Amino acid sequence: MENPGSGNVYTETVIFAAPEVFVADAPYQLAIITLDQGGRLTARIDGDRVAIGDAVDFAEYRNGIPFFRKRS
């Protein structure tokens, strides 16, 4: 899979009532990321919680799901 790069948080939410496959991960944060290279994608947030407008970098794919981290 391609590295989507970096971007900014367009919107975010915390999932408390997760689908069965992700119930062990709850609560977890999802965000829509506006990518620097254009377009948007939905991703999980790894590490510190992010807010709208925060800069984020791609961390890794886990089971095909992109994870981003707040830029330090």
pLDDT at 64 over 90: yes
Q: Is the dihedral of CA 69, 53, 28, 65 positive or negative?
A: negative
- 33 and 8 Cβ atoms separated by less than 8 Å: yes
Q: What is the pLDDT of residues 16-31, one digit of tens each?
A: 999 999 999 999 999 9
Please tell me the pTM assigned to this model. Answer: 0.93
- Reply yes or no on whether the pLDDT at 42 is more than 90: yes
pLDDT at 72 over 90: no
- Domains of the chain, each with CATH number or no CATH: 6-70 (2.40.50)
